[in-house]
Amino acid sequence: MPCNSTCSTHCHLFRPLNLGDPSEGLLLSNTIPSDLQIATISTALDKAKQDITRVQDAIALLSAQRAELNEFIRLQGSVVSRRLPNEMLSEIFVRCVDADATFDPVHNAGWVLARVSRRWRSVALTTPDVWSHFVFRDYDYMRTGVHLPIPSRRFWEMQLERAQLAPLSICFTVATTDELADMFFAVAHQWKEITFVNNWHFSRFVKLGFDYPYLKRIILNDDDFRGPLLPANAPDADLVKALPALTDLALGSCDWKPFPGQLRLPWSQLNT
């Protein structure tokens, strides 16, 4: 197969040199070369030096081509690498979630990511952890001094559906969750972290009688707690076995007189 124009310049580099022995065996003897032999050897030496120069030039050219090919691979490969495996893209999405962001179907990570492209939407909708955080602030202007749009109940239901069976992080507030409490207490067995800001929700939690296999952290934000955590006439509640994963309990400055008698918790496994 004949060489093409690209390789013809360098094909000689990959052939045997066939240098021969211009000294005609004088290397193996002490014979003094004749003038003709000296001329022949000198011609061969000059040719060898020229070949060395051509080889060095070729090496420089090939090195430059190798660098150009490496750059080509780097640049073009970066285009291919944009298509990350779905598993990696899913992990990136989870790390984009701001666990403390107020529930907002316009700006929350999951809702935003699902609008970028068809593929991103598919990955986002099949990554339950992206949808597992619910932070409900008080939307009452008289209390906050800020007008905030109240998301439709359907958005809360949609996000809860998309969370599937993922452990949930929920922050309850007073004004925004009374009407929605049933929805989230119905999946209390999926809670991973829960923040209560009033006695009513906390009392309901104690009375549920569920097991909470994922619940690691309970926060009692004392902003709206009034009096003791539980009514004085509340029956004793034993949650020791119901909270096998609980490691953190934040009481704030709440009135915690019911502990540890009226309400029994797995104190020995708490870190904070």
Model confidence pLDDT, tens digit, residues 147-186? 455 567 788 889 999 999 999 998 876 555 566 778 888 8
Average pLDDT rounded to a whole number, residues 187-195: 90
pLDDT tens-digit series, residues 104-137: 777 788 999 998 888 899 999 999 999 998 887 6
pLDDT at 85: 86
Query: How many residues are listed for the chain in this entry?
Result: 272
Query: Which residue, 189, 242, 244, 194, is CA-closest to 217?
Result: 194
H or E element that contains 195: strand 191-196
Asked if 270 and 238 count as a contact pair (C-beta separation under 8 A), the reply is no
Q: Is the pLDDT of residue 255 over 80?
A: no
Q: Is the pLDDT of residue 138 over 60?
A: no
pLDDT at 73: 83
User: Cα angle vertex 270, ends 194, 259, to 5°?
Assistant: 80
pLDDT tens-digit series, residues 216-228: 998 887 655 555 6
User: Which amino acid is residue 215, in one-letter code?
Assistant: L
